[in-house]
Amino acid sequence: MELYLDSANLNEIREVAALGIISGVTTNPSLIAKEDPTVDVKERIKEIHTLVGGHTSVEVVSTDTAGMLKEAEEILKWLPNATIKIPMIPTGLAAVKELTRQNIPTNVTLSFSATQALAANNAGATYVSVFVGRLDDIGYDGMSVVRDVRAIWDMQGLPSLILAASIRHPIHILEAAKAGADISTCPYKPLMQSLKNPLTDAGLKAFLADYEKWKKEVEKVG
Ligand code: E4P
């Protein structure tokens, strides 16, 4: 399972990109709205793409098909290999169909059920983002949607890549991998938490202390 960073924050992206564990970044209007309002959004996203290199999802803010297509055309002028992120609404599906006809990659966002994911796949979506955490928030089992989508996809050989989104903690990352998601897009905090284990830190501390002790013994002898 590939990992993307779900962020528009340059410091986070710079730090995580340097680790070599992410192959893309997803942004959304809310993530962009958290950043400095004086920053030019296009320049910010271009910088993000330069830092990470791979997948960059850029979301449209129109809700009508013509507006989404116009925005996609604009986005592709300044970021030719952007993936256009389109909301899972009927007018969005029509936009996905047209963008697919033009061979433009799309990421259908705000999918909360397997039937929505199926419609997105049928419209031609390259990626379908299933929002796990937001379903958990309202008392549903968000990951069960990822599991259903994977099962349907495998049974029927469907092509859209399954992207587990709205990740809240490291267990979501683990469960998304076990559910067979192709990608998990994670905010900075759960991604960094998923790298940590107290036994790793304690083990390293002991290794280094033992080595120092041994070095002193060697110096004494030699
Ligand atoms: C996906 O691409 C979205 O940006 C995303 O994961 C949003 O999740 P959240 O706002 O529920 O954290």
Res 131 pLDDT > 90: yes
Q: What is the mean pLDDT of the chain?
A: 96
Atom of ligand 1 nearest to the CA of 134: 11
Ligand 1: residue whose CA is nearest its atom 5? 166
Burial class for 219, CB neighbours closer than 10 Å (0-12, 13-18, 19+): exposed
85, 97, 178, 189: the active-site residue: 85
The response to whether residue 109 sits with its C-beta less than 6 Å from ligand 1 reads yes
The reply to whether 205 belongs to the active site is: no
pLDDT value, residue 167: 98
pLDDT value, residue 35: 86
H helix or E strand, kind and range, residue 86:
strand 83-87
The response to whether residue 134 sits with its C-beta less than 6 Å from ligand 1 reads yes
pTM attached to this predicted model: 0.94
Note the pLDDT tens digit of each residue in 119-129. 999 999 999 99
pLDDT value, residue 6: 96
**Site to substitute for ligand 1 among 166, 169, 184, most atoms within 8 A of C-beta:** 166
Res 111 pLDDT > 90: yes
Note the pLDDT tens digit of each residue in 171-220. 999 999 999 999 999 999 999 999 999 999 999 999 999 999 999 999 99
Note the pLDDT tens digit of each residue in 75-110. 999 999 999 999 999 999 999 999 999 999 999 999
Least reliable range by pLDDT among 40-44, 68-72, 99-103, 186-190: 40-44
Reference 165, options 202, 120, 104; nearest CA is: 120
Distances (CA, A) of 72 to 4, 22, 96, 109, 211: 21, 24, 10, 15, 57
pLDDT value, residue 39: 85
Ligand 1: residue whose CA is nearest its atom 6? 166
Res 222 pLDDT > 90: no
The response to whether residue 6 sits with its C-beta less than 6 Å from ligand 1 reads yes
